[in-house]
């Protein structure tokens, strides 16, 4: 997947990133997200300029069922937070844990502040 910078017509680097998305909906923990919910939210948001390469299920050390998503995008790293926040809201999550191109992890979403800081102990790779 090669994309081009609109202003300069030059190829943009594709950035690999991973997401950990809790499967329990923040407002109602009795609801458990399914793969379909993630794909449908992604589709409704216009795919966010990102390609899902894989999606797996896991369980964090805290016992929370979690989706582990590998993706790629041509967005610059500082542009991705906005898109991931939209996904977090669409899925009813306080925040989503994210690592991009091997940089330190971060939490992104409307209520990320209450879960800060990113804790690598709970990260599922």
The answer to the question of residue 51 being in a domain is yes
Task: Write out the two tokens for 6.
Answer: 């609109």
The answer to the question of residue 88 being in a domain is yes
Task: Write out the two tokens for 96.
Answer: 């989503």
Q: Report the phi/psi class of residue 6: left, alpha or beta, with left for phi > 0 and alpha for psi in -120 to 50.
A: alpha
Contact (CB, 8 A) for 124 and 38? no
- Local structure of 85: helix, strand or coil: helix
pLDDT, averaged in runs of 10, over the chain (125 residues): 47 82 88 90 78 91 92 80 90 94 89 94 92
Report the domain count for the chain. Answer: 1
The CB density around residue 30, as the number of other CB atoms within 10 Å, is 6
The answer to the question of residue 87 being in a domain is yes
pLDDT, residue 119, reads 93
The answer to the question of residue 7 being in a domain is no
Domain hosting 94: range is 16-116
- Which domain CATH number covers 29? 3.30.70.260
pLDDT, residue 89, reads 94
The answer to the question of residue 6 being in a domain is no
Contact (CB, 8 A) for 111 and 92? no
The answer to the question of residue 121 being in a domain is no
* Dist CA 81 CA 59 (whole Å): 24
The answer to the question of residue 124 being in a domain is no
The answer to the question of residue 3 being in a domain is no
* Dist CA 23 CA 100 (whole Å): 21
């Amino acid at each position: 997947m090669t994309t081009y910078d609109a202003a300069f017509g030059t190829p943009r680097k594709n950035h690999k990133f991973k997401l950990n998305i809790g499967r329990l909906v923040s407002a109602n923990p009795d609801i458990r997200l399914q793969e379909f919910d993630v794909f449908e939210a992604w589709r409704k948001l216009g795919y966010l300029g990102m390609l899902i390469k894989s999606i797996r299920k896991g369980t964090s050390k805290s016992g929370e069922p979690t989706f582990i998503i590998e993706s790629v995008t041509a967005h610059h790293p500082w542009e991705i937070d906005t898109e991931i926040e939209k996904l977090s809201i669409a899925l009813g999550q306080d925040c989503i844990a994210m690592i991009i191109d091997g940089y330190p992890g971060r939490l992104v979403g409307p209520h990320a502040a209450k879960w800060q800081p990113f804790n690598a102990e709970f990260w599922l790779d």
